[in-house]
Amino acid sequence: MEPTSTSGDAQEKIVEHEDAAHQKRNWVRLTYDCNDHCVFCLDAHAHNGTNRDREEIKKQILDGRRKGAERLILSGGEPTIHPNFVDFVRLGRMAGYPKIQTVTNGRMFSYPRFLRASLDAGLDEITFSIHGPNAKVHDALVGSKGAFEQELRGLQQALDDGRPIINIDICVNRGNVKHLPEMLRKFTAMGVREYDLLHVIPFGNAYKQGKETLFYNLEEMRPYLLEAFAWSKQPDMHIWLNRFPPQHLEGYEHMIQDPYKLNDEVRGRKEEYAFLLEEGVPLDCRAPHRCQFCYMEPLCDTLEEVRETVASRRFEVVRYDTEFEAAMPKIYGGDPASKKRSRSRMTALTRANESMSQVEQEAAASGIESRLRLPVLSQPGATGNLGGFPTRPVYVPLPELVRAAGAETLWIVAPNLERAASAVSLLPSVTRVELELADYAGLAEALDDGRVLGKRLARVVVRTAEDAAAMLALPGDFEVTVLLSRATEGWLRGLERVPARLALRQPTHERLTESAEQDIELREFFAAFEQLPGPRAPVDDVPACVIGRPARLRPRFLDASMLTDEGQLEIFRYAKRYILDRYWSKSLRCKTCVYNESCRGMHINYIRARGYGLMEPVEPEAAQAS
């Protein structure tokens, strides 16, 4: 199987999109107000008709730049109605942001003087939010008569000026999905070559007022969506998808949103996630009938699983990366509206808890639990009077947590043996180690009767053919897990027999381009490898339909990279590891597979690079034969 897009122009466009997606962005809210009233507005619950304080905005703009943000995005509400909008653009330019962008309904740009002042101050890019091909559709969706004509004037004037990059956001919903092809034809004819198609999500007005009218069946609307997606294949045409469920994009996998953008989603609600992880206050959006429409559902579901792992102290293996902390970017940004919601929710719950009788508390707790995606966790030693009310998590330092869990295996990711030793010193209660080192120099000398660093060596993970051969040549019963890649494929194909201690693992990659460059054609490889004599090598993280037999199940493990030094779950650490290790997807066709419940599918960047076509549902008869 070839990568999903192979032409030179397509590959160049993929690289361009990837670089843009990985740019560090500082989203700064200017207002809690808007001159439109969109029926799908996810921000409507934050609108109170006010502007954000000038000094708060200035502080956030400067803080983001100091911490490495490369793109300043001025947003709202409607950012352009803030009386100091032009001043904030100028401040961003003085602070040294390479790119300054605004996401706007564009109505203010229908005034030539305002447009000119904004561009003169340093505005580089304008994202116009337009949601229909004509006034009838657009004005109905944005709740403002005359908005379409005013916005179109602003768009045309910005195009005529020639200085800013121009693109259009379209919130795709039941009211306009059938008009998508018409919209692209209309605005492309005007000169717009870049579009961001945003899938409607269950927040703000979209959920409160539009849950029965805005959400649509993706399968039923597939013909209109595919016609729109096809525009992405045209030269110099850029179509981005935002918050679209990946499994609905088979055939257009290269358009799946870069998982790195999940960092922006988390940053926008970082205060709410902090209240969840620090105080036990659940996200107010978590409910099964709501989450099914949300792009963030897998991230939140997995977060609940990790919280349960930490709270219950049930894990067999702890993964520790000695260099992870140094590689973590500085935290900046956030939405003040998110902070306000979190504080209000915490205050309301606390007051309710204090004022209610025992019977009332139990009844309220039952109601809260019934609305949550998963029940609030009762943790060992946690404070709080009822399991149903938010219970503040009790975190303990990692060494204590590992001892309490009785975990015996330490999986160490480190550059070398010396750095691995620091992890063993930190967690002395473990009895076995698994090493995933960049450099195995000194291991042969340190290995003593199957032990290294004072612990039994259970496994090594290697990335090169040279390391694989060297590790298999060493005495002992430890497993040698070879990462599948173009660097190891030739050596593996050259084996005459499967070595007794060999195992295989499909690695993950942070970027689509890395996956395209390094990953191998798995189905073709296993068709040959499974014919070799010798024991069946355990295989990790490859679907059964590809291997011809089930992969090895993962043990329950704790990823220490998700925790602070104090042992507390932290949302940005979690998000970074989720993207690289837990963001997997399957084809919609996989629903009929006998292994559907136990199979994670493939990592999202493998799918973005090579497509869902790798996956073929296994029928019961075929499973029995294997």
Lowest mean pLDDT among 12-26, 144-158, 294-308, 542-556: 12-26
User: Could you give the CA distance from residue 57 to residue 77 in angstroms, rounded to a whole number?
Assistant: 14
Other C-beta atoms closer than 10 Å to the C-beta of 568 total 17
Q: What is the pLDDT of residues 69-122, one digit of tens each?
A: 999 999 999 999 999 999 999 999 999 999 999 999 999 999 999 999 999 999
Distance of CA 65 to the CA centre of its chain: 23
The reported pLDDT for the residue numbered 370 is 42
Question: β-strands 602-603, 584-585: how paired?
Answer: antiparallel
Helix axis angle, 465-473 to 486-493, nearest 10°: 50
The reported pLDDT for the residue numbered 357 is 56
Name beta bridge partners: 129: 169
pLDDT exceeds 70 at position 318: yes
Which conformational region is residue 459 in: left (phi greater than 0), alpha (psi within -120 to 50 degrees), or beta?
beta
* CB 526 within 8 Å of CB 512: no
Task: Tell me if residue 199 falls in helix, strand or coil.
Answer: strand
The reported pLDDT for the residue numbered 336 is 80
Length of the chain: 626
The reported pLDDT for the residue numbered 352 is 62
Which residues are CB-neighbours of 565 under 8 A, at least 6 positions away?
Answer: 397, 398
- Cα 144–Cα 167–Cα 156 angle in degrees, nearest 5: 65
Direct distance between the N- and C-terminal alpha carbons of the chain, in angstroms, rounded to an integer: 23
The reported pLDDT for the residue numbered 338 is 74
Q: Which of 16, 3, 514, 516 is nearest to 237 (CA)?
A: 16
Q: What is the rounded radius of gyration, in angstroms, for the C-alpha atoms of the chain? A: 26
The reported pLDDT for the residue numbered 211 is 81
User: Could you give the CA distance from residue 333 to residue 266 in angstroms, rounded to a whole number?
Assistant: 10
User: Could you give the CA distance from residue 611 to residue 255 in angstroms, rounded to a whole number?
Assistant: 11
- Give the Å distances, CA to CA, from 609 to 55, 156, 390, 512: 44, 36, 42, 6
Question: β-strands 194-199, 238-242: how paired?
Answer: parallel
User: Could you give the CA distance from residue 5 to residue 373 in angstroms, rounded to a whole number?
Assistant: 38
- Burial label for 226, CB within 10 Å (0-12, 13-18, 19+), is middle
DSSP characters over 89-108: HHHHHHHT-SEEEEEE--GG
Q: How high is the mean pLDDT of the chain?
A: 91
Average pLDDT of 117-131? 99
**Residue 77, preceding peptide bond in cis (omega within 30° of 0):** yes
- At 181, list the tokens: 């092809």
- At 311, list the tokens: 């709270």
Which phi and psi (to 5°) does residue 560 adopt?
-65, -15
**Which residues in 271-418 belong to E strands, given as ranges?**
317-321, 409-414
- Burial label for 181, CB within 10 Å (0-12, 13-18, 19+), is middle
* CB 590 within 8 Å of CB 578: no
Indicate the pTM of the whole model. Answer: 0.90
Percent of the chain with pLDDT over 70: 91
The reported pLDDT for the residue numbered 366 is 40
Q: Which of 406, 372, 410, 402 is nearest to 390 (CA)?
A: 372
Which phi and psi (to 5°) does residue 412 adopt?
-105, 125
Lowest mean pLDDT among 34-43, 352-361, 431-440, 581-590: 352-361
Our CA dihedral for 610, 611, 614, 618, rounded to 10 degrees, sits at: 160
- At 435, list the tokens: 């090493």
Distance of CA 21 to the CA centre of its chain: 12
Q: Which of 220, 304, 261, 356 is nearest to 17 (CA)?
A: 261
The reported pLDDT for the residue numbered 356 is 59
Query: For tokens 């122009």, what's the residue?
Result: 9
* CB 115 within 8 Å of CB 161: yes
pLDDT exceeds 80 at position 342: no
pLDDT exceeds 70 at position 346: no
Every domain of the chain and the residues it spans: 23-216, 398-625
Q: What is the pLDDT of residues 496-538, one digit of tens each?
A: 999 999 999 999 999 999 999 999 999 999 999 999 999 999 9
Give the H/E segment covering residue 125: strand 125-129
**CATH dotted code for 23-216:** 3.20.20.70
Percent of the chain with pLDDT over 90: 81
pLDDT exceeds 90 at position 362: no
